[in-house]
Chains A and B, each alone.
Chain A
Amino acid sequence: MKNIIKILPVLIILISCQKENFNITNLNNNKISALGHGGMGIASVYPLNSFESILNCLSIGADGTEIDIQMTKDSVLVAFHEEKLEHVTNKSGNIFNKTWAEIKGATYKEPLYGNYQVVTLDEIFSNTENVTKYTFFIDCKNFNPDTSAFYLNTFNNSLIKIIEKHNLSNNVYIEMKRSDIIGSLRAKKPNWKIFAYHYFDQAMALVNEFQLQGIVMSFDKITKEQVLEAHNNGTMVAVFNTHSKSKNIEAIEKNVDFIQSDKLDHLIKILN
């Protein structure tokens, strides 16, 4: 009995130190890119898409991060997830109804005493050291119901301008849901990596219609077989909503190409 008590802690340490071995086969050179979800994810003390959250994510060794963007009335791309400012900041209204001058200085409500501010995509890229060594998934949140050609052009031109300004055309993957915006961007940039953000069947339909490079969805809405089906079609797969260690592992075992994780430190550790 005494021996068992002596050996038990050693066994626990050995088991906890055991490295996970994954046999990854995908379209990303058989490697899964570990990305942050809006930076450090939803459970972080830093607000989603805040510059602090994104810097934190990159500083711990992530391959890059997903960033949500929305366009203001004066065509500025703002890094912001929610439909309305009042959900998480001290200002109110829709971003598409406001100018950047009206939004600038908005601070996130959480954490208490945090005082972290809403920032633009341009500010993030301009102030990230060695920005071209990272991968960015730009999730286009087009809450603006406007479907006019003018709006589509303005949105896509703003996006193209910033990405080209920072020489990030090869590092950026664009996530889009609306077919009108996808069609408009595809016409302007035939070689850009655009991912359809939808349920599997709808996403694959958009991929085939616009010759997109990939699909993106919640990790629990796609099976391992569907990932294989997408890969057989030459389509890459990015997933999000991995909030825990077990969900990270589940996503890896599906052989996806990119994981936008909310448990990023764990994902980086097990993939490296």
Chain B
Amino acid sequence: MEHQLSLLIILLLNLLSFDVNSQLDTVSVSKNAVYIEARGLGGYGSLNYERIVPLKKSISLGIRLGLSTYKIKDFMGKINPDIIVPISLNGLYGKKHKIEFGIGQTISSLVKIDYSSWTPHREVKFSTTFSIGYRYQKNTGGLIYRWSYTPIIEFNKYFRHWGGMSIGYAFKTK
């Protein structure tokens, strides 16, 4: 699983360094976005940053990195936060009204009981995520709305139907 994650990160870094201007001769395009997602890949909700890489007029890629938590204190009352990090690569098609589809990994690091020693421990797991949905986002930036069906293969074992809704902002380029 760590191998899959490494490949995903390498792919994302390559995309981030992609020379957009050589491929796109349009007006300046918003490249950075932030949004809050309710439910979705972060569990109950997450705060996300997305780097947008325009490929053609109506096609772009989004590289998303999110952060979420369930609890800051663990069940014994100690500061020991649950950490959930959704990472995904999203394809976007459309001008203002876009179709979005994506694939990714969510890293969850939750504090729970070790059921053999019966003591608290931190369990790190990986889950494969998919998404398909609608996104409203102008290429030049501004408000973002999105809703997606986000099926998850939890811990790469159990298939789960899931979904999420987001609201956010794409920063306008100067």
Contacts and interface: CB of A to CB of B under 8 A. Distances in A.
B77 A52 contact: no
A25 B110 CA distance: 43
A80 interface: no
Q: For chain A, give the interface size range.
A: 20 to 34
A113 B118 contact: no
Interface of B: 43-44, 70-71, 75-77, 84, 106, 108, 110, 112-113, 115, 118, 123, 125, 127, 152, 154-155, 158, 160, 162
B108 A113 contact: yes
Contacts, number: 56
Contacts of A112: 43-44, 152, 154, 160, 162
Given A46-B75, A56-B75, A126-B118, 20 more contacts: A45-B44, A51-B118, A52-B75, A52-B112, A52-B113, A111-B43, A111-B70, A112-B154, A112-B162, A113-B43, A113-B84, A113-B106, A113-B125, A113-B155, A114-B70, A114-B110, A115-B110, A116-B113, A117-B115, A123-B118
A51 B43 contact: no
A127 B115 CA distance: 10
A46 to B, nearest CB: 7
Interface of A: 45-46, 51-53, 55-56, 59-60, 90, 109, 111-117, 119, 123, 126-127
Contact of A45 (B70, B108, B155): B70
A134 to B, nearest CB: 15
Nearest to B117: A127
A113 B127 contact: yes
A116 B112 contact: yes
A45 B84 CA distance: 14
B73 to A, nearest CB: 9
Contacts of A45: 44, 70-71
Contacts of A113: 43, 84, 106, 108, 110, 125, 127, 154-155
B166 to A, nearest CB: 16
Which one of A51, A59, A112, A117 has the highest number of Cβ atoms from chain B below 10 Å of its Cβ? A112
7 contacts: A46-B75, A51-B118, A59-B76, A112-B44, A115-B123, A119-B115, A127-B118
B77 A60 contact: yes
B106 A114 contact: no
A90 B159 CA distance: 10
A55 to B, nearest CB: 5
A73 to B, nearest CB: 22
A227 B14 CA distance: 70
Contacts of A55: 75-76, 113
Contacts of A126: 118
Nearest to A51: B113
Contacts of B108: 113
B123 to A, nearest CB: 7
